[in-house]
């Protein structure tokens, strides 16, 4: 029976301890320069990964972060749990009633900020496949993935930017949040479909089955599941130990939802994301409970995931400047144009509409998670992964200053 050896356990514990401490120190240093925490964590991974430390001292690097063995499997398992919990937390921030309250401006912005980047992203891959590197059998799947990658936003990053600019409760802020919620929900549902298509080679019957399962699970969780959660949450928060009770039940349901979607042929992230929406949309979930779950996941598990990105890819060897520029250009132009057009059609002024466009252009952690899952599934190569990570970081950095410039705050 396979098990962790003494050396495997030693390496795993040392790696986790080192990653947590160093990621916090680097992230705090980055905050002094107003950089997103996730950027500090990824930069740390690049420094201690094969890009820098692995090139300087490959023997010590392979001892600390082996490519095979029990320690490698265990660390991969922990980072997989981190992705699932990150999507659960992202789902908790999705408030569907916010979208409905914003009226015409939110509807137009939500639609155009998703559909225009998707169409342009899909088209560039479909008609110019030579720019990218993928197996011919994945032509359709890759085009769908790239369209989604151009469309998705990062709700947690956008929320933080709006709060920093004191725009969260303004008309512009609410339109941005409503559109980001729609983008995230639609994007992750679509990405779950794309992941399930890998290996099916586009079989129509399998695709329709997958779409039916996605919609069925989503409707069940957001109607019946949400009703059950609303009924049991008050009892959980009042009768069980605080805050351990609510933390255990919420994360337990997160993993059960993830296990269910993984079992039916969808990715585990979808179950976690939809379960997060069901819990986050409940009026009975205390704000303090949300904060505890958020802090636990983002400060313990998220750093392990984002640092691990730099451990698996050499960012210098796989940095393709042409591909990076193409991805960054398409991402910014598609998203800003699409979102700005919708906001302007919805009644906002030109300057406000452009501010909305740049607000929705922040990709942050969500884009990086998207790229990681596609890389793990074998859909994209390391060059595209690096391009997506660079694009996510740059769009997150420029989003706030450009919003501020156009909104005049």
233-248 pLDDT, tens digit each: 888 877 777 777 788 8
pLDDT score of 323 more than 80: yes
Rounded CA separation 67/176 (Å): 42
Write down the mean pLDDT value for the chain: 82
pLDDT, average across residues 278-285: 80
Own/partner contacts of 224-232, CB < 8 Å, gap of 24 or more, are 225/275, 225/278, 226/278, 226/281, 226/282, 229/253, 229/278, 229/279, 229/282, 229/284, 230/282, 230/283, 230/284
pLDDT score of 251 more than 70: yes
pLDDT score of 395 more than 90: no
pLDDT in tens, 163-184: 667 776 677 887 888 888 788 7
DSSP 276-289: HHHHHT-TTS-HHH
Helix (H, G, I), strand (E, B) or coil at 246: helix
Share of the chain above pLDDT 70, in %: 92
pLDDT in tens, 104-131: 778 888 889 899 999 999 999 999 888 8
Residue 204: what pLDDT? 47
pLDDT score of 100 more than 70: no
pLDDT score of 99 more than 70: no
Query: End-to-end distance of the chain based on CA atoms, in angstroms?
Result: 63
pLDDT, average across residues 386-401: 86
Residue 202: what pLDDT? 46
pLDDT score of 346 more than 50: yes
Residue 23: what pLDDT? 85
Nearest to 133 by CA among 394, 393, 385: 385
Residue 124: what pLDDT? 92
**Biggest distance spanned by C-alpha atoms of the chain:** 66
Question: What is the model's pTM?
Answer: 0.79
Residue 408: what pLDDT? 64
pLDDT band at 327 (very low <50, low <70, confident <90, very high): very high
Query: Is 337:11 a contact under the CB 8 Å cutoff?
Result: no
pLDDT, average across residues 190-197: 79
Residue 200: what pLDDT? 52
pLDDT in tens, 5-20: 888 888 888 888 988 8
Nearest to 160 by CA among 371, 396, 370, 394: 396
pLDDT, average across residues 42-49: 84
Residue 120: what pLDDT? 92
Rounded CA separation 261/87 (Å): 14
């Amino acid at each position: 029976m396979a098990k962790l050896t003494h050396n495997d356990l030693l390496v795993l514990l040392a790696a986790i301890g080192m990653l947590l401490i160093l990621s916090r120190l680097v992230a705090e240093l980055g905050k002094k320069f107003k950089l997103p925490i996730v950027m500090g964590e990824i930069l740390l991974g690049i420094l201690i990964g094969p890009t820098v430390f692995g090139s300087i001292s490959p023997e010590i690097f392979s001892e600390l972060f082996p490519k095979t063995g029990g320690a490698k499997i265990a660390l991969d398992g922990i980072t997989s749990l981190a992705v699932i919990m990150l999507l659960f937390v992202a789902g908790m921030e999705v408030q569907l009633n916010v979208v409905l309250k914003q009226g015409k401006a939110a509807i137009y912005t939500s639609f155009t900020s998703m559909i225009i980047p998707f169409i342009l992203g899909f088209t560039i891959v479909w008609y110019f496949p030579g720019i990218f590197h993928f197996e011919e059998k994945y032509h359709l799947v890759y085009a769908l993935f790239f369209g989604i990658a151009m469309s998705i936003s990062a709700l947690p990053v956008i929320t933080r930017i709006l709060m920093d600019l004191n725009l969260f409760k303004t008309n512009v802020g609410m339109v941005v949040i409503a559109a980001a919620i729609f983008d995230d929900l639609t994007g992750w549902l679509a990405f779950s479909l794309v992941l399930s298509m890998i290996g099916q080679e586009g079989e129509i019957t399998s695709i329709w089955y997958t779409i039916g399962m996605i919609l069925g699970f989503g409707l069940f969780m957001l109607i019946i599941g949400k009703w059950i959660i609303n009924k049991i949450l008050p009892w959980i928060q009042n009768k069980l130990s605080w805050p351990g009770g609510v933390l255990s039940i919420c994360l337990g349901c997160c993993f059960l939802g993830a296990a269910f979607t993984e079992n039916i042929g969808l990715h585990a992230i979808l179950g976690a994301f939809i379960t997060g929406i069901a819990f986050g949309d409940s009026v009975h979930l205390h704000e303090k409970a949300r904060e505890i779950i958020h802090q636990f996941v983002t400060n313990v598990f998220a750093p392990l995931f984002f640092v691990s990105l730099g451990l698996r890819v050499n960012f210098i060897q796989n940095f393709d400047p042409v591909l990076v520029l193409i991805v960054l250009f398409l991402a910014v132009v598609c998203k800003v144009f699409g979102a700005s057009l919708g906001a302007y059609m919805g009644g906002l002024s030109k300057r406000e509409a452009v501010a909305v466009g740049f607000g929705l252009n922040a990709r942050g952690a969500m884009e990086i998670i998207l790229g990681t899952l596609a890389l793990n599934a074998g859909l994209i190569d390391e060059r595209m992964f690096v391009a997506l990570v660079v694009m996510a970081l740059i769009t997150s950095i420029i989003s706030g200053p450009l919003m501020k410039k156009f909104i005049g705050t």
